[in-house]
Amino acid sequence: MIWLGTSPTKRPDVGLALGAALLSLVCILLISTFPWGRDQSIYGLVADGIVHGRAPYLDLWDFKPPGIFFAYAIAETLFGRSMASVRILESLGLVAMLLGLVALARKFQGNSLAGWLGGAIAIFAHTMLDFWHTAQPESFGGILTVLALCLVVPRPGRTTQTWAALAAGVALGAASLMKPPLGGALIVIFAYLVRQQLDSKQGFRRYFAPAALVLGVMLLLGAVAVYFARKHAFAAMVWTLRDFVPGYTALGWSPESSAIAMVHFAVVESLVKFSVFIPIGVVAALVLPSAHSREKEGFYLVCGIALFQLVGVAMQAKFFEYHYGATIPLLAFLAGLGWSKLWWSAQTRGGLSLLVLAAVLLVAGLIAPGAHDLPGTAWQRTFQRLRYLPHFGNEALRTELDDRLAKAAGFDLQADREVATWIRGQTGSGDTVLVWGFEPAIYWLSERTPATRFIYDVPQRSQWQQSKSRQWFMDDLKRSNPVVVVVQHSDIFPGVTGHNADSAADISDFPEFASWLERGYFPAGYRYNFEYYRRR
């Protein structure tokens, strides 16, 4: 058999690799048609503030770590102020990730096929998550982790260069700024470097690469700390990440769920939920003999990083689909190792085996689980976007497509767009407005300044850290004196706020805000789930 002695490099299957590359390209084109969801609107609004000199947490508040805001700010700076900007950045990142997996496959299996297959599996699974679960912190964190791996894993017979370890540290630091648990890869990669360098004969220089890895992380984190200090936003960031976030995280924990059980659930879900290709390929990678002397090295290294990430998913205790976004590429790479060995085995058994395996590949590809709570099935949404692609750039058709598909978990981009249109008609470009609800997209679409740093009302509706957030909220309103107020109904998110009331109902639990609204504003209409108020 090919994995028992013959080098896979002697039998590259160009056709299969080209098919995987073509699938990846089509998926990336589909991603370019994705609009923003609720989370992406938060990141985009904060990023727009960064571009114009405002600081996260202090001027525009969200409880995510700062890395995702900087990613969206880079996208806006490079590609302009549009929802497509971050999709361009995301697509470029996925291309880089695909090439990174190809490079890793060459190093660990002596052949690029596993990289093309693993990359296609990862990008296909990513695309099936649709607009709601992509362009998330984990999406970019996964790309950065793969790039860090490419930098630290040397070619056969060599050791990692110091500059490469330093660059990998910067990438891992950026990943940890997306989500802190992604920084767990540092532990695995550091141990990998130490073992690699101790086996070398470089004398004192053997310590340079591990030290450079840590230095790279520290340099990036230090630069971000300096940024927040210069913006006088460091204290606001500390309050958010140290004091507010633990209360949010605790909502998912219950006495009945042990940590081990949650980690087990995260591992199983990551393997079976997002692509049929992943469990088949991972099992094949484990069961079939190695195709190269370094294959086990790569398998265990990637497994170790994935396990740290899945512990982080369990710690969050929410198990949203996008929480697995950084782990999917790693598992897809492991699956690529297995699928490549299955393919080479089928080659040795003749044409019939190849046909059977090709049929399995096709059937597995047709089983697209996709994301839940979206209009239609994954394939129905995909076909609609494929029909739009020849008309890419037609704004009217794009808006029509978004109005049909950009709906999830109570979010409706069409409704937000209409509310933003009403706000623009009632206000001037220099006016401030308030949206009492969970729809920051309205601020971005209306191009009006939020009346408060809190671009959504979760901190004022939650029970933890409520007194501080409400005080800051009211101080902001008294200073800004917004021209219009929009109150949202039916935004019930117990997994975020901790109770089953919507924004409108929670006003009665916030007497100071209720009194301020009654004294200064009068009802001016109702549309969709939004109640309009104008200043008296």
- Residue 250 CA to residue 263 CA, distance in Å, equals 16
Residues sharing a CB contact under 8 Å with residue 389, sequence separation 6 or more, in sequence order:
29, 30, 33
pTM across the whole model: 0.93
Q: What's the pLDDT score for residue 2?
A: 37
pLDDT at 365: 65
Q: Which residues does 386 contact at the CB level (< 8 Å), separation at least 6?
A: 30
Query: In which residue ranges of the chain is pLDDT below 50?
Result: 1-11
pLDDT of 3: 39
Eight-class DSSP state of 526: E
Euclidean distance between CA atoms 413 and 441, whole angstroms: 8
Block residue for tokens 């899945």: 310
Cβ contact 168:189 at 8 Å: yes
Q: For position 259, what pLDDT does the model report?
A: 85
Q: Tell me the residue ranges of DSSP E strands in 335-461.
A: 407-408, 411-412, 432-436, 449-450
All domains in the chain, ordered by first residue = 2-232+254-345+358-366 (no CATH), 410-535 (3.40.50)
Pick from 48, 71, 70: which is nearest to 60 by CA? 48
Instruction: Assess contact for 111 and 12: CB atoms under 8 A.
Output: yes
Would you state the pLDDT for residue 6? 40
pLDDT at residue 528, as a whole number:
87
**Rounded to an integer, what is the distance from CA 457 to the centroid of its chain?**
23
Whole-number pLDDT of residue 15: 84
